[in-house]
Amino acid sequence: MDSTVETATFEPRARWRRLALVRLLRDPTGGVGTLFVTLIVLLAIFAPLLTPYAPDEINVMARLAPPSAENWMGTDQLGRDVFTRLLYGTRIALVVSLPAVIAGALVGMVLGLVAGYFGGWVETSLLWLFDVVRSFPALLFAIAVIALTGPSLFMVVFIMALTRFPSYGRLIRAQTLKVREEEFVTASRALGCTAPRVMLRHILPNAVAPLFIQAAMDVPVVITFEAGLSFLGLGVPPPTPSWGSILREGYTYVRATPWMILFGSGFLVVATLGFTFFAEGLRDVFDVKIRNEGSN
């Protein structure tokens, strides 16, 4: 009996998943977002193959040089190739944003499931935890913590994951409250399924779609947050290239080297627009699923 319920639940969802990627790519916003995100990921992966320079290679004889055939985006105050540093800065942006968003989403997903499924004092306690964490301004909290511990890649990831999980928890809780009253969930309970099995096999797959959209929306938020911390000197420690630190150096020499600001901002804008459009495309795809389920 239980296998019959699970088969009836998962077969329509499996058919929909096969069409999700096609719908995403056909959507203009989703297609552009997917293209930008793919470009950012490829630049991060193949950065060593796209430039002959190392990100910390100093050439004082070519300091503050304008864009040329040798240095496509010019050099900084130490003669380091700006294009190379922006490429490797793409790695830092992804290494910070993706683990932070994934960790925050996983923690929030588990706590949101537990809060929505069990209710009562469990739900009240977890909602109180969400509100307490959200009450701290993320930037001020990050500045305070990093001032005590010193700038590091791990600390930036930890702070962003810590400040993001309450929003995921509340989102999954709201979805769980709706899904747990569905007939297939009631049938699973009647058949003797344990609470973890009901949550993981029946509730989560039907409640997780908004989490993917929110996570994709949060990636550019975390990228911008890390860039802001690095711009203030509180992000990734030098000489590690970060888009924020490159913008800070460009701002210092903006009259002599405006290209550092222009190209650094360009990378940040492409990443932000890419993940934002990608999230918009995901939302449109899942809206199609919701409309189809409502019409059946």
pLDDT: is 167 or 239 the higher one?
167
Least confident of 72-86, 154-168, 182-196, 216-230: 182-196
Residue 5's pLDDT band, with cuts at 50, 70 and 90, is very low
| Integer angstrom CA distances of residue 284 from 81, 102, 210, 272, 295 | 40, 22, 11, 18, 17
β-bridge partners, 75: 81
What are 182-228's pLDDT values in tens digits?
777 778 777 777 777 888 887 888 888 888 889 988 999 999 999 98
Question: Alpha-carbon distance 99 to 105, whole Å?
Answer: 10
CB 185 within 8 A of CB 123: no
- For the chain, how far is it from start to end, CA to CA, in angstroms? 23
Decide if pLDDT at 81 tops 70.
yes
CATH of 27-46+74-290, one of 1.10.3720.10, 2.40.10.10, 3.40.50.1460, 3.40.50.300: 1.10.3720.10
Calculate mean pLDDT across residues 161-175. Answer: 91
Tell me the β-bridge partners of 81: 75
Residue ranges of the alpha helices (H) in the chain? 2-26, 28-45, 47-50, 82-118, 120-134, 138-149, 153-179, 183-190, 195-198, 204-207, 209-231, 243-252, 258-295
Rounded distance between C-alpha atoms, residue 111 and residue 204, angstroms: 12
User: Token pair for residue 34?
Assistant: 């997917």
Q: Is 75 helix (H, G, I), strand (E, B) or coil?
A: strand
pLDDT (0 to 100) of residue 254: 83
The whole-number pLDDT of residue 223 equals 92
Structural domain boundaries in the chain: 27-46+74-290
